[in-house]
Chains A and B, each alone.
Chain A
Amino acid sequence: MGNGAYDRPRFLPAGDAALTVELGDAVDAVVNRRVLEFDRRVRAAAIPGLLESVPTYRSLFVQYDPGLAAFAGLVEALGPLVPAEDVPAEGRRWLFPVCYGGEFGADLEFVAETHGLTPEAVVDIHLSAEYRVYMIGFAPGFAYMGGLPAALHTPRRASPRLRIPANSVALGGIQAGITSIPVPSGWHLLGRTPAQMFDLGRGDDAFLLAAGDVVRFERIDAATFAALEAAGGLIARRVG
Chain B
Amino acid sequence: MPTLLVREPGLLATVQDAGRVGWQRFGVVVAGAMDLHALRAGNALAGNPPGAAAIEFTFTGGSYAVEGGPVRLAVTGGDFALSVDGRPVPAWHSFLLRPGEVLAIGRAPDALRGYLACAGGLDVPVALGSRSTHVRSGIGGWQGRALRGGDALPLGSAETDPGDLELPPDARPRQRNRLRVVLGPQDGYFTDEAIATLGGGRFTITADADRMGYRLAGPPLRHRGADNIVSDGIALGSVQVPASGQPIVLLADRQPTGGYPKIATIITPDIGSIAQLAPGTSVAFEIVTPDEARRIRRDWDAAMEGLPALMRPSGGAGDPFDSQRLLALDLVGGFLPDAD
**Chains A and B belong together in one complex:** yes
**Residue B256 lies at the interface, judged by CB distance under 8 Å to chain A:** yes
Given contacts A56-B257, A71-B290, A141-B26, contact A12 B235 (CB under 8 A): no
Q: List chain A residues, Cβ under 8 A from B244.
A: none
- On whether the beta carbons of B233 and A59 are closer than 8 Å, the reply is yes
**Residue B232 lies at the interface, judged by CB distance under 8 Å to chain A:** yes
- On whether the beta carbons of B186 and A138 are closer than 8 Å, the reply is no
Partner of A14, one of B25, B231, B265, B294: B265
- On whether the beta carbons of A15 and B267 are closer than 8 Å, the reply is yes
Residue on A nearest B256 in the bound complex, by CB: A137
Residue on B nearest A197 in the bound complex, by CB: B27
B301 to chain A, nearest CB (A): 6
Report, as a range, how many residues of chain B touch the other chain. 35 or more
Q: How far is the CA of A211 from the CA of B257 in the complex (A)?
A: 14
**Residue A150 lies at the interface, judged by CB distance under 8 Å to chain B:** no
Most buried by A among B22, B181, B231, B293: B231
Q: List chain A residues, Cβ under 8 A from B23.
A: 140
Report B231-271 CB contacts with A as 1/0, cut-off 8 Å: 11111111000000000000000011110001001111000
Residue on A nearest B25 in the bound complex, by CB: A54
Q: How far is the CA of A194 from the CA of B269 in the complex (A)?
A: 45
Q: How far is the CA of A12 from the CA of B268 in the complex (A)?
A: 17
- On whether the beta carbons of A137 and B257 are closer than 8 Å, the reply is yes
A74 to chain B, nearest CB (A): 12
Report B115-134 CB contacts with A as 1/0, cut-off 8 Å: 00000000000011000000
- On whether the beta carbons of A16 and B293 are closer than 8 Å, the reply is yes
**Residue A185 lies at the interface, judged by CB distance under 8 Å to chain B:** no
- On whether the beta carbons of B297 and A16 are closer than 8 Å, the reply is yes
- On whether the beta carbons of A54 and B237 are closer than 8 Å, the reply is no
Q: Which of A97-143 contact B (CB under 8 A)?
A: 135-142
**Residue A18 lies at the interface, judged by CB distance under 8 Å to chain B:** yes
- On whether the beta carbons of A54 and B24 are closer than 8 Å, the reply is yes
Count of chain A residues with a beta carbon within 8 Å of a chain B beta carbon: 47
- On whether the beta carbons of B255 and A52 are closer than 8 Å, the reply is no
- Comparing A19-27, A213-221, A225-233, the segment that makes contact with chain B is A19-27
Q: List chain A residues, Cβ under 8 A from B236.
A: 15, 17-18
**Residue B303 lies at the interface, judged by CB distance under 8 Å to chain A:** no
**Residue A240 lies at the interface, judged by CB distance under 8 Å to chain B:** no
Q: How far is the CA of A136 from the CA of B27 in the complex (A)?
A: 6
Q: Which of A185-203 contact B (CB under 8 A)?
A: 200
**Residue A67 lies at the interface, judged by CB distance under 8 Å to chain B:** yes
Given contacts A54-B233, A56-B257, A138-B27, contact A181 B185 (CB under 8 A): no
Q: List chain B residues, Cβ under 8 A from A141.
A: 26-27
Q: How far is the CA of A144 from the CA of B237 in the complex (A)?
A: 24
Q: List chain B residues, Cβ under 8 A from A180.
A: 27
**Residue A151 lies at the interface, judged by CB distance under 8 Å to chain B:** no
Q: How far is the CA of A18 from the CA of B271 in the complex (A)?
A: 15
- On whether the beta carbons of A12 and B186 are closer than 8 Å, the reply is yes
Q: List chain B residues, Cβ under 8 A from A63.
A: 21, 24, 235
A180 to chain B, nearest CB (A): 7
Partner of A200, one of B22, B25, B128, B296: B128
**Residue B182 lies at the interface, judged by CB distance under 8 Å to chain A:** yes
Q: How far is the CA of A58 from the CA of B257 in the complex (A)?
A: 12
Q: Which of A1-36 contact B (CB under 8 A)?
A: 12-20, 22, 25-27
**Residue B327 lies at the interface, judged by CB distance under 8 Å to chain A:** no
Q: List chain B residues, Cβ under 8 A from A18.
A: 233, 235-236, 265
Q: List chain B residues, Cβ under 8 A from A19.
A: 185
**Residue B318 lies at the interface, judged by CB distance under 8 Å to chain A:** no
**Residue A160 lies at the interface, judged by CB distance under 8 Å to chain B:** no
Residue on B nearest A27 in the bound complex, by CB: B230
Given contacts A140-B26, A200-B127, A200-B139, contact A61 B294 (CB under 8 A): no
- On whether the beta carbons of A16 and B233 are closer than 8 Å, the reply is no
**Residue B310 lies at the interface, judged by CB distance under 8 Å to chain A:** no
Q: List chain A residues, Cβ under 8 A from B294.
A: 16, 66, 70
- On whether the beta carbons of B231 and A56 are closer than 8 Å, the reply is yes
- On whether the beta carbons of A139 and B184 are closer than 8 Å, the reply is no
Taking beta carbons and an 8 Å cutoff, which residues of B are in contact with A? 21-29, 127-128, 136-139, 181-186, 229-238, 255-258, 262, 265-268, 290, 293-294, 296-298, 301
**6 closest A-B pairs (Cβ-Cβ)?**
A61-B233, A15-B265, A137-B257, A12-B185, A14-B235, A18-B235
Given contacts A56-B230, A59-B232, 14 further A-B pairs with CB under 8 A are: A12-B185, A12-B186, A16-B293, A17-B268, A18-B233, A18-B235, A52-B21, A56-B232, A66-B298, A139-B27, A141-B27, A181-B138, A207-B26, A207-B27
